[in-house]
Chains A and B, each alone.
Chain A
Amino acid sequence: MSVSQETIETVAGLEKYKHGFVTDIEQEFAPKGLNADIVRFISEKKGEPEWMLEWRLAAFERWQAMEEPTWAKVEYTPVDYQDLHYYAAPRTKAKPKSLDEIDPEILATYEKLGIPLKEQMVLAGVEGAPKYAVDAVFDSVSVVTTFREELAKSGVIFMSMSEALREHGDLVRQYLGSVVPVSDNYFAALNSAVFSDGSFVYIPPGVRCPMELSTYFRINAENTGQFERTLIIADKGSYVSYLEGCTAPMRDENQLHAAVVELVALEDAEIKYSTVQNWWPGDPVTGKGGIYNFVTKRADCRGDRSKVSWTQVETGSAVTWKYPSCILKGEGSVGEFYSIAITNGRQQADTGTKMIHLGANTRSRIIAKGVSAGKSVSTYRGLVSAHPKAKGARNFTQCDSLLIGKDCAAHTVPYVEARNGSAQFEHEATTTRLSEDQLFYAMQRGLSQEEAVQLLVNGFVREVLQELPMEFAVEAQKLVAISLEGSVG
């Protein structure tokens, strides 16, 4: 049997996307379509304050006047915004007080996904494993947030955005939209009008958050967009590490995910934000279905010596449009972006970062690793700019692309603007093809073809994997392997 044939058969026998199941629960939907009444419906469902409704309606008005961006190097069937549900929630009365009140089907879903919602489960089986708190968002609503009481002891607020709007309205109002303005871009405006839930985090001055925080997003309902909104504020001298994970069922229709994430780091604060994105990528052969992942993520390093570090492992979605960015306003503030983007089958990813140096002596570092296989297309798009006041700004950028097979493509589009003479920017870029020689060498030493590809790719992305919190680095490594199954034939 030839190697390629064997690979095809092996892969055919694998259950490739193990998160592709659908949870069968009763849900309530908003009627399809988008108008001011739908915006009011969402706001009312959530019992929001008046100012929030007005904010949403203003955003909706702005959105109507905007056009969908077309500059990204991705092609997709246009989204019919009137043919979507903008709200879908499991049918329950109020947010359950305890886990016993949650629909067992939802609990089972998260268990199947390996997300511990019962606090005692976190430690079960693993001696000395660090705790991490989870906010679980199911379609449009947050179903549960764990470890809230323990976190509250140190003053940390970790809850769903809906609850935060009710319980900490002033705090939300102060910061919401201050990093990503309503009219920032088409998808951000849409999100501002219809966002349904997401996570809210506030770390008080001088507090080092005692555990990892994480949000787990699950899209379940059909023909439904997920528009979550996350806001993290790290007050002076605080630290938090936050992780988001995402999966969705396998469906033939495309599903829209348009999130906005805003981070605010005050003086001497540090936020580490990690993403492991594994949305359903669509059928690998026909390209049918999969998530459109149009996300705006931005961090404002507002305080002096503040630091934000984005780490992302992007393996899913049919189309990705995403540029986690840092505005380096505070003097001596630091922005980092570590990215692994893996595309296979017919996936398309246009992703990268923006580092906007506004303050003096600001520093940024970008390490982007793209792996393309199958007939996929991957683009790194980045902007590094230094404004006149950003004396002594420094950036180091490294973009590496690895191609597997002959039918994929990788592009690098770096923009650099230095508007003062003291800025120092360095850029390195490489594109390599997974070499037949390396594969044969590894196989000669006993590795199967799949194992050899995994080892070589994991070597290629190692620098970035090391930036992930330990518990997730192992998961991410496995995900890298799964995403590339059948990529060589």
Chain B
Amino acid sequence: MLKIDNLQVSVADKPILKGLSLDVPAGEVHAVMGPNGAGKSTLGYTLAGRNGYEVTAGSAFLNGEDLLALEPNERAAKGLFLSFQYPLEIPGVPALTFVRTALNAQRKARGEGEVSAPEFLKLVKQKAKDLRIDFDMLKRPLNVGFSGGEKKRMEVLQMALLEPKLLILDETDSGLDIDALRIVSEGVNALRAPDRSMLVITHYQRLLDYIRPDKVHVLAAGRIVASGGPELALELERTGYDRYAAEAA
């Protein structure tokens, strides 16, 4: 599914990722953990194609497609979804309009027909109910004045509707209380599928109690320095990142 090889990325000429390699097979959930400043968010942004994240070496393929050669919207149409740590507010654009515009743009890029308005509404109503999102909220401008929990639920609603192949969750647990964390995690878990992979980027082990990973990787100083099963996350929780940070440096 996702194959990253020797990825090197600089931001404002400062090297952040220094030869990162990662392989996430179809249907698996991998967690990337690491201390602040290790390059976790850089990994998500680079894969999604954000301006200012300059790839100096290496490659990243999604189902055989060279991601790095594509514009952000083309990557989205190929099935990449980045759930933002801080989802943006879009004034004046109702959430429903935003998601439908995005869905139709992706479908158009894939040569598929547009989803009709009634069909879309029916779909949204069901998914919103699952995520306990009040339908009236979807008529309001996207994320404007929404609480942290509401914003994250809107992210999950969008993934549920856009049905990506690769889901990258960037610090999805930040700013969530226990109840919101549970609802969001249930939403993500419902999207687990044999043809869908997930990359869960997180600083804390807490999120992994809810979204159980198949594998855990430790990212320190721009490289994957250790990989293992879910038990690695528990060990990190006990011992901290210091050991890895020191080794990487």
Residues on A lying within 8 angstroms of B by beta carbon are 3, 6, 435-438, 440-449, 451-452, 455-456, 458-463
Taking a contact as CB atoms under 8 Å apart, the answer to whether B76 and A463 are in contact is no
Taking a contact as CB atoms under 8 Å apart, the answer to whether B92 and A461 are in contact is yes
Per-residue CB proximity of B70-97 to A under 8 Å, as 1/0?
0111011100011010011111110000
Taking a contact as CB atoms under 8 Å apart, the answer to whether B82 and A444 are in contact is yes
Most A C-beta atoms less than 10 A away, residue of B49, B71, B87, B141 = B71
* Given A445-B102, A455-B98, residue A438 in contact with residue B90 (CB < 8 A): yes
Residue of A445, A455, A458, A462 near B76 (CB, 8 A) is A445
Taking a contact as CB atoms under 8 Å apart, the answer to whether A440 and B102 are in contact is no
Taking a contact as CB atoms under 8 Å apart, the answer to whether A446 and B76 are in contact is yes
Judge if B50 is at the interface, Cβ distance under 8 Å: yes
Please give, as numbers and ranges, the residues of chain A lying within 8 Å of B226 by CB-CB distance: none
Taking a contact as CB atoms under 8 Å apart, the answer to whether B50 and A459 are in contact is no
* Given A451-B101, A456-B90, A459-B141, residue A446 in contact with residue B106 (CB < 8 A): yes
Identify the 6 closest CB pairs spanning chains A and B, nearest first: A459-B92, A459-B93, A446-B106, A445-B102, A462-B92, A443-B72
Judge if B207 is at the interface, Cβ distance under 8 Å: no
For the complex, give the distance between the alpha carbons of A3 and B105 in Å. Answer: 17
Taking a contact as CB atoms under 8 Å apart, the answer to whether A436 and B76 are in contact is no
Please give, as numbers and ranges, the residues of chain B lying within 8 Å of A438 by CB-CB distance: 88-90
Please give, as numbers and ranges, the residues of chain B lying within 8 Å of A443 by CB-CB distance: 49, 71-73, 76
Residue of A441, A452, A458 near B84 (CB, 8 A) is A441
Taking a contact as CB atoms under 8 Å apart, the answer to whether B77 and A446 are in contact is yes
Please give, as numbers and ranges, the residues of chain A lying within 8 Å of B76 by CB-CB distance: 443-446
Taking a contact as CB atoms under 8 Å apart, the answer to whether B90 and A444 are in contact is no
For the complex, give the distance between the alpha carbons of A458 and B87 in Å. Answer: 20
Question: Who on chain B is nearest to A440 by CB?
Answer: B50
Most B C-beta atoms less than 10 A away, residue of A6, A435, A451 = A451
Question: Who on chain A is nearest to B44 by CB?
Answer: A444
Most A C-beta atoms less than 10 A away, residue of B48, B49, B50, B72 = B72
Question: Who on chain B is nearest to A459 by CB?
Answer: B92
Residue of A437, A447, A458, A463 near B105 (CB, 8 A) is A447
* Given A444-B76, A446-B102, A451-B101, residue A3 in contact with residue B51 (CB < 8 A): yes
Please give, as numbers and ranges, the residues of chain A lying within 8 Å of B93 by CB-CB distance: 455-456, 458-459, 462
Residue of A441, A447, A458, A462 near B88 (CB, 8 A) is A441
Taking a contact as CB atoms under 8 Å apart, the answer to whether B92 and A463 are in contact is yes
Question: Who on chain A is nearest to B143 by CB?
Answer: A441
Query: Distance in Å from the Cβ of B72 to the closest Cβ of chain A?
Result: 4
Question: Who on chain B is nearest to A402 by CB?
Answer: B91
Taking a contact as CB atoms under 8 Å apart, the answer to whether A440 and B72 are in contact is yes
Interface residue tally of chain B, by bracket?
20 to 34
Taking a contact as CB atoms under 8 Å apart, the answer to whether B101 and A447 are in contact is yes
Taking a contact as CB atoms under 8 Å apart, the answer to whether B72 and A444 are in contact is yes
Judge if B158 is at the interface, Cβ distance under 8 Å: yes
Query: Distance in Å from the Cβ of A434 to the closest Cβ of chain B?
Result: 11
Please give, as numbers and ranges, the residues of chain A lying within 8 Å of B99 by CB-CB distance: 445
Judge if B184 is at the interface, Cβ distance under 8 Å: no
Question: Who on chain A is nearest to B106 by CB?
Answer: A446
For the complex, give the distance between the alpha carbons of A442 and B87 in Å. Answer: 11
Please give, as numbers and ranges, the residues of chain A lying within 8 Å of B81 by CB-CB distance: 444
For the complex, give the distance between the alpha carbons of A217 and B208 in Å. Answer: 65
For the complex, give the distance between the alpha carbons of A36 and B81 in Å. Answer: 71
Judge if B162 is at the interface, Cβ distance under 8 Å: yes
Judge if B38 is at the interface, Cβ distance under 8 Å: no
Question: Who on chain B is nearest to A457 by CB?
Answer: B92
Query: Distance in Å from the Cβ of A370 to the closest Cβ of chain B?
Result: 15
| Further contacts, 6 of them, CB under 8 A, given A444-B76, A460-B92 | A445-B98, A446-B162, A451-B105, A458-B92, A459-B90, A462-B93
Taking a contact as CB atoms under 8 Å apart, the answer to whether A3 and B71 are in contact is yes
| A/B interface sample: 26 pairs, CB < 8 A | A3-B71, A437-B88, A438-B89, A440-B50, A440-B72, A441-B88, A441-B90, A443-B72, A443-B76, A444-B48, A444-B72, A444-B73, A444-B82, A444-B84, A445-B98, A445-B106, A445-B162, A446-B102, A446-B105, A448-B105, A452-B73, A458-B93, A459-B93, A460-B92, A462-B92, A463-B92
For the complex, give the distance between the alpha carbons of A448 and B77 in Å. Answer: 10
Query: Distance in Å from the Cβ of B243 to the closest Cβ of chain A?
Result: 34
Question: Who on chain A is nearest to B168 by CB?
Answer: A444
Query: Distance in Å from the Cβ of B171 to the closest Cβ of chain A?
Result: 15
Query: Distance in Å from the Cβ of A17 to the closest Cβ of chain B?
Result: 26
For the complex, give the distance between the alpha carbons of A460 and B144 in Å. Answer: 13
Question: Who on chain A is nearest to B82 by CB?
Answer: A444
For the complex, give the distance between the alpha carbons of A17 and B99 in Å. Answer: 30
For the complex, give the distance between the alpha carbons of A448 and B72 in Å. Answer: 8
